[in-house]
Chains A and B, each alone.
Chain A
Amino acid sequence: MKKSIVLLLIMLLATSFVFAQGAKEATVSADAPLKVGVIYISPPGDMGYSYMHDQGTIAMEEHFGDKVEVIRMEGIPENESSERVMENLIDEGCKIIFANSYNYQQYMLNVAERYPDVYFEHCSGYLSADNMSNYFGRMYQMRYLSGIIAAEMSSSGKIGFVGAYNTPEVVRGINAFTLGARAVNPDATVTVVWTNTWFDPSLERQGSVALLDQGCDVIAQHQDTTEPAKAAIERGKYAIGYNADFRKIVGDDHVLVSPMWNWGNYMIPAVQSALDGTWESQSYWGGLEDEMIHLSPLSPLVPEAVADEVMSVQDKIHDGEWDVFWGELKDNTGSLRQNTGEKMNDEAMLTMDWFVEGVVGSV
């Protein structure tokens, strides 16, 4: 009796192996969805940087429907543990992995070397490999346009900018913003306050308040929360958002405009090429022509003439007729950095560590 039960159990076990095997084969059949791993530095609920990335991921999911399956990893620290997270995603069957913050790049490169069959996509860095691309957008073009609006709306000509860290990305943005402002008001100045943090609502607000106390009447920012903008609005001054449409979030037309990202416009072609088997490593820095970036709808407080002016400059950038860092450039100590007729190359832009004329502050 006992023997027969044991035999039955063994048979059950054996058949279950067969079933399990069958199930496993089914998942790797041709029409199984491509698994896409996405790693965010913060939860998308931050309404800022990772939120906009997730909007891109959602757009990508909607575009491909059941051809893809996305696994999101949120709030992953930029240290060795991110390698474990990537490996877990690969264990789950991910064939392409996106990571959205600068300091993941070395860890991603390490994992990319160990898994040559997986595609890696790193946002905002410069490292790449045969199976790893980096990508980013020319946000400075939108900063320039928002600078035009800021200077047109400012009555004092004193504009404030709350900046996170003095990285080339932020410095480039402040420079572009200042060039835009001074294109319409040559006397305008942009005063910079550094918070030394991407995210700290209290410090961001304090930076903004200090600028307002000094008479700035428009506040722009490269920070993750809406606090700098809110501090300006509470005093009846204007604000320029960033990342997401601050005018919608804050619910006040004193937010004149917000430069925004369209990450989906990179993620969709990248995933498409992975699906087609045509994926290739690249260093991608897309601008207006690829619609990687855009301006939010303008506040109704911005006069139509200003809106038209902004659109005409945007068209010129879009058509490649002109870009922000073309022509003569002086730094804010008065020395000449670029001659008339010269066009700054990408490398100079990506390593920018000086302020243009009109910026009050130091890098």
Chain B
Amino acid sequence: MNMLDFITKLLAATLAMGTSLAYATVGEVYTQKTGILNLGMEGIMLMGALAGFSTAFNTGNLYLALMMAMLVGGFFSLIHAFLCITMRANQVPAGLAITMFGTGLANFLGERLGPASNGYNLTGMNIPDKFSNIAIPFLSDIPIIGALFDVSLLTYALYILIPFAWFFMYKTKHGMVVRAVGENPRTAASMGISVTRIRYVYTVIGGMLAGLGGACLSLSFTPSWNEGMTSGKGWIVIALVIFSTWNPGRVVIGTLVFGGITSLQFSLQAAGLKMVIPSQFLGFSPYLITLVALAAMTIINQKKRGSFASPSALGTSFAIDDK
């Protein structure tokens, strides 16, 4: 196998796996930009995976399945928003509770939404159709970048979503409002912006994208339902947000790096090459990179103030009558 072919296939594998991460990360970036930390991603993604799969299984309609996944994801983040914004609860335990509730409920329902013939279990069931790869003629034959043009519809949609998310955040007036709410909610409020409303909206949108990310797994990448099938992706998302320095555009880099390490590790093993990276390294490497990124950000920020910093009001609650 030649080098070009190797890299092309590596990129294809990275894109297939990274799609789910990218949706959820863009969602969490928007949520955190308004100052709300949602650690419930793991639970929300799993609920999205379940909602998507069970809808597709019972109706055969993939688009309805995507909508259900987004609806369920939005609902779960609405709970988080209510706790953190209206009730002004501490965002860390609230998010952890969402993760525990979401994973528990998803696993519970997964044993009850299946067909009677399988003991009402969804595990082991197959959906009639899935989001398969669609190759664009000619473009998909180009070495390396051809991999970008032989992906599923869900990945193609990302090519639009990520630039849009970046443009919206940094080049529109509304995006500035979003950032202002996360940086200094008091000032934003004094300018007549409803901090509560903005935070609610983007926490829910973040959850909808996380639900969609979960559905990417159960409807496209690994078309099935398995208990705990997100297996920690929700936590990688939290790390990816930091790695992307809260910039939806940089999510692309983060996803490619994180997904690429995993794919490279498998490709090297499968090619029978001596391991460059020990395989145990795989599991914790995303978090290690995050630690390095955090340290690097601090150093850069000291020199060039604020360019890579987290939203100043991240994790804090806000009420108009706060003294």
Q: Which residues of A contact B (CB under 8 A)?
A: 42-43, 45-47, 160, 191-194, 196-197, 199-203, 205-207, 209-211, 213-216, 225-227, 230, 244, 249-251, 360-362
Contacts and interface: CB of A to CB of B under 8 A. Distances in A.
A251 B126 contact: yes
B199 interface: no
B272 A227 contact: no
A202 B233 contact: yes
A206 B222 CA distance: 10
B226 A194 contact: no
Q: Can you list the 9 inter-chain pairs with the closest CB atoms, starting with the nearest? A: A210-B266, A210-B270, A201-B222, A47-B124, A360-B272, A200-B231, A213-B9, A214-B270, A193-B269
Interface string B1-43: 1000000010001001100100000000000000000000000
Given A45-B110, A196-B283, 16 more contacts: A45-B111, A46-B226, A46-B227, A160-B270, A191-B269, A192-B269, A196-B280, A202-B221, A209-B266, A211-B270, A213-B9, A213-B270, A214-B271, A214-B272, A225-B222, A362-B275
A362 B274 CA distance: 8
For B16, B110, B272, which residue has the most chain A Cβ atoms within 10 angstroms? B272
8 contacts: A42-B227, A45-B121, A199-B226, A206-B17, A207-B270, A216-B270, A226-B224, A361-B269
B111 A199 contact: no
B279 A194 contact: yes
Contacts of B271: 214
Most chain B beta-carbon neighbours within 10 Å: one of A193, A206, A250, A361: A206
A45 B119 CA distance: 9
Nearest to B268: A210
Given A43-B107, A194-B269, A210-B267, A205 B279 contact: no
A230 B126 CA distance: 11
B162 to A, nearest CB: 21
Contacts of B20: 202
Contacts of A45: 110-111, 119, 121, 123, 227
B126 A205 contact: no
A181 to B, nearest CB: 16
B272 A197 contact: no
B152 interface: no
A194 B226 CA distance: 20
Given A47-B123, A226-B224, A201 B270 contact: no
Given A45-B111, A230-B224, A196 B231 contact: no
Interface in B226-277: 226-229, 231, 233, 262-263, 266-267, 269-272, 274-275
Interface in B271-294: 271-272, 274-275, 279-280, 282-283
B154 to A, nearest CB: 14
B13 A213 contact: yes
B17 to A, nearest CB: 6
B226 A225 contact: yes
Contact of B263 (A210, A226, A250): A210
A216 B17 CA distance: 20
Q: Interface size bucket, B side?
A: 35 or more
A112 to B, nearest CB: 30
Contacts of A205: 221-222
B255 to A, nearest CB: 14
Contacts of B282: 196
A174 to B, nearest CB: 13
Nearest to A251: B126
B224 A213 contact: no
Nearest to B14: A206
A152 B106 CA distance: 42
B56 interface: no
Contacts of B123: 45-47
Nearest to B221: A202
A206 B13 contact: yes
Chain B CB within 10 Å — which of A43, A193, A210 has the most? A210
A202 B20 CA distance: 10
A226 B275 CA distance: 26
Contacts of A210: 13, 263, 266-267, 269-270
Contacts of A361: 269, 272
Interface in B106-163: 107, 110-111, 119, 121, 123-124, 126
A42 B107 CA distance: 11
B263 A206 contact: yes
B68 interface: no
Nearest to A360: B272
Contacts of A47: 121, 123-124
A47 B121 CA distance: 10
Contacts of B233: 202
B94 interface: no
A197 B231 contact: yes
A324 to B, nearest CB: 24
Contact of A209 (B1, B13, B227): B13
A193 B269 CA distance: 6
Residue of B1, B111, B223, B224 with highest tally of chain A CB at under 10 A = B224
Given A200-B231, A226-B224, A227-B222, A193 B262 contact: no
Given A196-B283, A214-B1, A201 B224 contact: yes
Contact of A227 (B1, B13, B224): B224
B217 interface: yes
Contacts of A225: 222, 224, 226
Nearest to B271: A214
B269 A201 contact: no
A102 B1 CA distance: 40
A194 B270 CA distance: 9
A215 B275 CA distance: 19
